[in-house]
Amino acid sequence: MSDATHQEGGADAARPISYTLSVNEINYPVTTSPGSALLAVLRNDIGLTGTKEGCDDCECGACMVLVDGQPVNSCSYLAAQAQGRAVSTVEGLADSSDLHPLQQLLLDAGGVQCGFCTPGMLMSARALLDRNPNPSDDEIRIGLSGNLCRCTGYDSIVAAVRQAADQLDSSTGS
């Protein structure tokens, strides 16, 4: 079975290193092997399990997080390379008790079925809207093209992102 903590030798077997990771604006001191993937450190060392392990092969996007605002497949990104950078995960999306518009609209549109792709989908969508507040449907599909969903057929997800774009756009008054 694939496992993000799987030890492969080399840097995975090298002596541990200590550093600090900033995740959702909170600093976490961690001690990991130099070859540890960001996904494994988020889930197993820091305890933020919202980010999912799907393929562990950089294909499915379930592990998508943002590093300095850009989407990154955390299964294949070395955690040590994220030190000094701002990591954002799905846990940081909601504002205390209120869901982020992307989360609420995804639920409303039926864009969540089994839910396993949802955290990664949300992070890709957020990065897209941060850099392009008014994307076309094509741009939404390209923005989400690294995220696989086996349930929804994508249309409801694209619709939710479009609605979120409209809602966020009007709420910022731009």
Partner 1 sequence: MPTEPFQIAGSIEDALSAMATGARPVAGGTDLVVGARQGKSPLPSNLVAVDRIVELSTIEQNAEGVIVGAGVTHATLMTDPLITSGYTALADAAALVGSPATRNVGTLGGNVMNGSPAMDTGAPLIVLGAMIDLRSQGGSRRVAPSKLWTGPGSTSASDDELCVAVALPKRSERSGSAYVRLEYRRAMEIAVVGAAASVELNDEGVIEQVAIALTAVAPTIVALEGLTDLVGRRVDEDVLAAVAAIASSQAQPISDLRAGADYRAHTVGVMARRAVDAAARRAAGETIEVPVNRAEGVGRTDRP
Antiparallel, parallel or unpaired: β 64-67 and 86-88: antiparallel
In terms of CB distance, is 15 or 96 closer to partner 1? 15
Q: What is the DSSP string of 134-145?
A: S--HHHHHHHTT
Q: Give CA–CA dist 8/15, Å, rounded.
A: 13
Q: Given candidates 1, 8, 172, 174, which one binds partner 1 under the rule CB under 8 A?
A: 8
- Quick count: other Cβ atoms within 10 Å of Cβ 149? 22
Tokens found for residue 14: 């090298």
Q: Does 150 participate in binding partner 1 (rule CB under 8 A)?
A: no
Residue listed under structure tokens 């955290």: 119
Q: Does 95 participate in binding partner 1 (rule CB under 8 A)?
A: no
Please identify, among the stretches 79-87, 88-96, 153-161, 162-170, the one whose residues bind partner 1 according to the rule CB under 8 A.
79-87
Binding mask 15-34 for partner 1 (x = CB under 8 A): x-x----------------x
Task: Please say whether the dihedral angle defined by the alpha carbons of residues 34, 37, 42 and 45, taken in this order, is positive or negative.
Answer: negative
Q: Catalog residues that contact partner 1 under the rule CB under 8 A.
A: 6, 8-15, 17, 34-35, 37, 56-59, 61, 64, 70-73, 75-78, 80-81, 83, 124, 127-128, 142-143, 145-147
